[in-house]
Amino acid sequence: MQNLGGAVIPMQINTDKINFLVGDEAILCSIQYNPALPMFSDKMLGFLEDLSRKLMDDKRSRSYQDVMSYAYWIRKSSLERIKKSYNTKLARIGRGVSFHIAPSNVPINFAVSMTSALLAGNSIVIRVSDKDYEQVSIVCDAMNELLSGKHASVRDYFCIVRYPHDDEITSQISAMCDIRIIWGGDETIRRIRSAAIPPRAIEMTFADRHSIALIDSDYYMSADKKEVAKGFFTDTYYTDQNACSSPRLVVWFGDRIEEAKESFWKELLLLVKEKYRMEPVVAVDKYAAFCGLAMSAGQARLQSDENYIMRVRIDELTDNVLDYKHGGGYFYEYNAKDIEDILPVLNKRCQTISVLGIDKDNVRDFVIKNGVQGVDRVVDLGQTMALEFVWDGYNMIENMTRIVHA
Partner 1 sequence: MITDFYELDPYELNSADKEEMLRKELIELTSLHKDKCKEYSNFLEAVGYDAGKINNVADIPFFPVRMFKEYDLKSIRDDEIFKTMTSSGTTGQKVSKIFLDKETAMIQQKVMVKILSSYWGKKRLPMLVIDTPEVVRNREMFTARGAAIIGLQVVSRDTVYVLNDDMTLNYDVLDDFMNKYGNQRFIIFGFTFLVWEHFYKELLKADKKYDMSEAFLMTGGGWKKLESEAVSREMFKSKLREVCNIGHFLDHYGMVEQTGCIYAECECGNLHASIYSDVITRRYEDFSPCDIGEKGIIQVVSALPHSYPGHSLLTEDEGIILGEDDCPCGRKGKYIQILGRLKSAELRGCSDTYADKYGQN
Q: Write the DSSP assignment of 37-92 as a string of letters.
A: -BTT-HHHHHHHHHHHHHHHH-GGGGG-HHHHHHHHHTSHHHHHHHHHTS--SSEE
**Residue of 49, 203, 285, 341 interacting with partner 1 (CB under 8 A):** 285
- Using CB under 8 A, which of the segments 97-105, 136-144, 170-178, 380-388 binds partner 1? 97-105
Residue 204: how many CA atoms within 13 Å on its side-chain side? 23
List the beta bridge partners of residue 161: 20, 127
**Residue of 284, 368, 386, 404 interacting with partner 1 (CB under 8 A):** 284
302 near partner 1, judged by CB under 8 A: yes
3-state SS, one letter per residue, for 39-52: CCCHHHHHHHHHHH
CB nearer to partner 1: pick between 187 and 316: 187
| Residues in binding contact with partner 1, number by CB under 8 A | 55
**Residue of 67, 114, 169, 243 interacting with partner 1 (CB under 8 A):** 243
331 near partner 1, judged by CB under 8 A: no
113 near partner 1, judged by CB under 8 A: no
Question: 53-79 as b/e, with b when 16 or more CB fall inside 10 Å?
Answer: bbbeebeebeebebbeebbebbbeeeb
183 near partner 1, judged by CB under 8 A: yes
List the beta bridge partners of residue 19: 162
CB nearer to partner 1: pick between 92 and 210: 210
CB nearer to partner 1: pick between 29 and 272: 272
Binders in 5-34 for partner 1, by CB under 8 A: none
Work out whether the CA dihedral 149, 152, 158, 162 comes out positive or negative: positive
Residue 149 CB contacts under 8 Å (≥ 6 apart), including other chains? none
67 near partner 1, judged by CB under 8 A: no
Closest CA to 395 of 376, 381, 380, 382: 376
3-state SS, one letter per residue, for 10-24: CCCCCCCCCEEEECC
306 near partner 1, judged by CB under 8 A: yes
| Minimum CB–partner distance for residue 390 and partner 1 (Å) | 16
| Minimum CB–partner distance for residue 13 and partner 1 (Å) | 24
Q: Catalogue the E-assigned strands of 243-327.
A: 247-253, 300-302, 310-314
**Residue of 289, 346, 367, 379 interacting with partner 1 (CB under 8 A):** 289
239 near partner 1, judged by CB under 8 A: yes
Enumerate binding residues for partner 1 (CB under 8 A): 103-106, 109, 129, 183-188, 206, 208-209, 239-240, 242-244, 246, 278-285, 287-302, 305-308, 323-328
